[in-house]
């Protein structure tokens, strides 16, 4: 999980061009305007070579089998052939881009052999390791600073080619260098979500109980790099089946190496299986919600382990009730409002809990305030808030007395902010550090002769609202500041981490700078996932074929919510991104030259306020102690999983036309 090839030096400026938009030269000047003007004067001559521009290219072929993605049990092919009811269809998802409002860019400064980088980053320690390897300096000599991020969605987790160019230029000149990618370069300088092709075949008995699932998937990758989008990740666990087969290939095309975009793997995987089971429901004459409940998986079908918690049945029931699903007319094209066809659709989603380790410092000061420090980051999900809340609750102080410092690789270490793991990891680390600081304070209060609590027995003091007292209300009561003054302490500091005590120094280093030590979602006795059920209403103009999402109700199981308001914001953001995927967004390639023709915010169709309806989110989760120290599960990536198939299923219910190729645009319905 890095950028530097193992067999030679890293060259951020291409010697052999493999895709349109690849960096080949850089110009450094005193001002941004000078640099832009000078870069426009650079002339490059290319030798034209044959290219494969996308998966539909006739030269693409079947691709490379990825054996690690193969999942099989039973005899899926034979069971499918013998099943009384069968459906088989192909489902395609488009090339998408993260399209964060804040573009990529950085400032690089060298002081001797020490490098400081100011750059929006989802992974300070991982990127610091990459810079250290690029330039042959010790890891400790690289500092990344990133206190806030204006959106990333997976694109800002790695140090990229343009970052190396800026740092190399700064070293050559002995001066700080600033580099900002313009908007078109943000569509070609790093990878978005890969285009995918899936075939899903489901065989069922006459009652609608699944007997077999056969899944085949393909995703695009680059000529000079490898990206695998795990297309069987949802297919293999969502529904119970005695027979299953999933295989996947990747096809090399002339594109930048694809990358992570919100819920990589689970997002396209859910589109395939959730559309397919909807088609099976219509084939059987069953309600689409009923067929999902009839094939509910009581345990992980793949890992054969119990779920840690799975509130999906509750999500179906709660969401259906809030949406009014019982009023749905079964037949397609049977609901309308004037010239508008109305369709209702449902789909489920899931995202795994991949646990990792982190550390935090919590500091109590003489004035009774507290400070939390961590190299983790905030890109809109509310890290500052939830870590302050965790420390305040643990220490027994008002949340307004807690400050949080993030986004500096010199602070306590943290792993990658991705895979919906940050909150679960870092609240556990802060909880531990704050608990240690509180224990030290109470220990001093009981043991120091200067304390009015001296001589009391252990476990006889509590801290609430920043005041220390006996739980029975008898005896003295002091503020933390007053007690710290009596103890003569300027601060009490504790470092807490969730790293196993058996880890060596090298393992700890790898924990924060690679993904090698992350725990899979099936580690131990349980299979850990967040779950959701989406209910969607669409309105389709019968004359013009335009599709509008008019209502969304989603019930979600993310375990304990550390901050319900922030969770709601994250869920709604995922749903909005899913609406864009279903109806609007697509990277369009000029097949003559392999260029992205809509690499800007005018032509790459992102959802706006006018495209977004009322969205209702409902939490059905319960605390899951097997998933994190404080019982939470992933929030940020869950809600985008399943929203696109829910919309596609609603469009079919409205129109009677099954669109299996995203985005669902006008010409596909007329």
22 pLDDT higher than 70 = yes
343 pLDDT higher than 50 = yes
Same fold for the pair 101-187 and 196-354+522-669: yes
Mean pLDDT of the chain, nearest integer = 96
User: Which position among 119, 290, 637, 667 bears the catalytic label?
Assistant: 637
Report the C-alpha gap between 424 and 431 in whole angstroms.
Answer: 11
7 pLDDT higher than 70 = no
Q: How confident is the model at residue 1 (pLDDT cuts 50, 70, 90)?
A: very low
Tokens standing for residue 338: 């004037």
At CA 511, angle to CA 222 and CA 435, rounded to 5? 140
Does 637 qualify as catalytic in the annotation? yes
Model pLDDT, residue 6:
56
- Determine the CATH number of domain 196-354+522-669: 3.30.365.10
| Each residue's pLDDT tens digit, 294-325 | 999 999 999 999 999 999 999 999 999 999 99
Torsion angles phi and psi, residue 456, rounded to 5: -70, 160
17 pLDDT higher than 80 = yes
Helices (H), 490-640: 505-513, 564-583
What does the pLDDT average to over 589-614? 96
Q: How confident is the model at residue 516 (pLDDT cuts 50, 70, 90)?
A: confident
* Per-domain boundaries in the chain: 101-187, 196-354+522-669, 359-513
Q: Which of 527, 502, 228 shows the shortest CA–CA distance to 357?
A: 502
- What percent of the chain has a predicted confidence (pLDDT) above 90? 94
Higher-confidence residue: 189 or 5?
189
CATH topology of domain 359-513: Aldehyde Oxidoreductase; domain 4 (3.30.365)
| Each residue's pLDDT tens digit, 604-653 | 999 999 999 999 999 999 999 999 999 999 999 999 999 999 999 999 99
| Each residue's pLDDT tens digit, 410-467 | 999 999 999 999 999 999 999 999 999 999 999 999 999 999 999 998 788 999 999 9
Report the C-alpha gap between 296 and 293 in whole angstroms.
Answer: 5
Report the C-alpha gap between 236 and 221 in whole angstroms.
Answer: 23
At CA 98, angle to CA 95 and CA 100, rounded to 5? 150
The SS3 of residue 33 is: helix
- Determine the CATH number of domain 101-187: 3.30.365.10
3 pLDDT higher than 70 = no
Q: Please state whether the peptide bond connecting residue 663 to the residue before it is cis, i.e. omega within 30 degrees of 0.
A: yes
């Amino acid at each position: 999980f890095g950028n530097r090839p193992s067999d030679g030096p890293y060259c951020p400026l291409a010697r052999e061009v493999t895709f349109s938009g690849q960096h080949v030269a850089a110009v450094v000047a005193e001002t941004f305007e000078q640099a832009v003007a000078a870069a426009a004067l650079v002339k490059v001559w290319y030798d034209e070579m044959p290219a494969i521009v996308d998966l539909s290219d006739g030269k693409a072929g079947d691709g490379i089998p990825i054996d690690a993605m193969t999942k099989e049990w039973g005899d899926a092919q034979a069971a499918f052939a013998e099943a009384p009811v069968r459906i088989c269809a192909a489902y395609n998802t488009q090339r998408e881009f993260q399209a964060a409002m804040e573009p990529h860019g950085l400032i690089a400064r060298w002081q001797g052999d020490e490098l400081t980088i100011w750059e929006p980053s989802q992974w300070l320690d991982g990127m610091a390791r990459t810079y250290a390897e690029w330039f042959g300096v010790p890891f400790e000599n690289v500092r990344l600073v990133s206190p806030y991020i204006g959106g990333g969605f997976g694109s800002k987790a790695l140090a990229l080619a343009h970052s190396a160019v800026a740092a190399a230029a700064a070293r050559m000149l002995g001066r700080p260098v600033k580099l900002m990618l313009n908007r078109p370069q943000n569509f070609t300088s790093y990878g978005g979500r890969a285009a995918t092709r899936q075939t899903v075949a489901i065989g069922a008995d006459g009652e609608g109980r699944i007997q077999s699932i056969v899944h085949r998937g393909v995703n695009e990758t680059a000529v000079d790099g490898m990206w695998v989008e795990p297309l069987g990740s949802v297919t293999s666990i969502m529904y119970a089946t005695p027979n299953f087969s999933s295989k996947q290939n990747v096809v090399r095309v002339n594109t930048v190496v694809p990358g992570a975009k919100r819920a990589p793997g689970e997002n396209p995987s859910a589109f395939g299986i959730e559309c397919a089971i909807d088609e099976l429901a219509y084939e059987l004459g069953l309600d689409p919600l009923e067929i999902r409940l009839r094939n509910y998986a009581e345990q992980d079908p793949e890992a054969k382990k119990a779920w840690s918690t799975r509130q999906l049945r509750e999500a179906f029931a709660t969401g259906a009730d809030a949406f009014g699903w019982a009023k749905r007319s079964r037949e397609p094209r049977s609901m309308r409002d004037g010239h508008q066809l109305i369709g209702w659709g449902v789909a489920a989603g899931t995202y795994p809990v991949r646990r990792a380790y982190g550390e935090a410092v919590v500091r109590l000061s003489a004035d009774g305030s507290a400070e939390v420090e961590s190299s983790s980051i905030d890109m809109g999900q509310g890290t500052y808030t939830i870590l302050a809340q965790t420390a305040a609750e643990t220490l027994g102080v008002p949340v307004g007395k807690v400050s949080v410092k993030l986004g500096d690789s010199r602070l306590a270490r943290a792993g990658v902010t991705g895979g919906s793991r940050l909150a679960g990891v870092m609240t556990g680390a802060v909880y531990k550090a704050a608990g240690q600081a509180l224990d030290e304070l109470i220990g001093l209060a009981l043991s120091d002769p200067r304390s009015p609590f001296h001589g009391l027995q252990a476990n006889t003091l509590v801290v609430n609202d920043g005041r220390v007292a006996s739980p029975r209300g008898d005896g003295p009561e002091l503020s933390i500041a007053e007690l710290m003054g009596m103890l003569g302490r300027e601060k009490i500091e504790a470092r807490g981490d969730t790293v196993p005590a058996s880890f060596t120094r090298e393992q700890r280093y790898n924990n924060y700078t690679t993904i090698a030590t992350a725990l899979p979602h099936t580690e131990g006795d349980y299979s850990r996932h967040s779950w959701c059920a989406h209910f969607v209403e669409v309105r389709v103009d019968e004359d013009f074929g335009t599709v509008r999402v008019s209502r969304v109700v989603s019930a979600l199981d993310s375990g304990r919510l550390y901050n319900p308001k922030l969770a709601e914001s994250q869920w709604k953001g995922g749903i909005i991104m899913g609406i864009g995927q279903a109806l609007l967004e697509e990277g369009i390639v000029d097949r003559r030259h392999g260029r992205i023709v809509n690499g800007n915010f005018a032509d790459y169709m992102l959802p706006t306020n006018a495209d977004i309806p009322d969205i209702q989110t409902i939490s059905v989760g319960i605390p899951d102690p097997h998933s994190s120290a404080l019982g939470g599960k992933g929030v940020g990536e869950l809600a985008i999983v399943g929203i696109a198939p829910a919309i596609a299923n609603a469009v079919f219910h409205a129109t009677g036309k099954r669109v299996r190729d995203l985005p669902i645009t006008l010409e596909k319905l007329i």
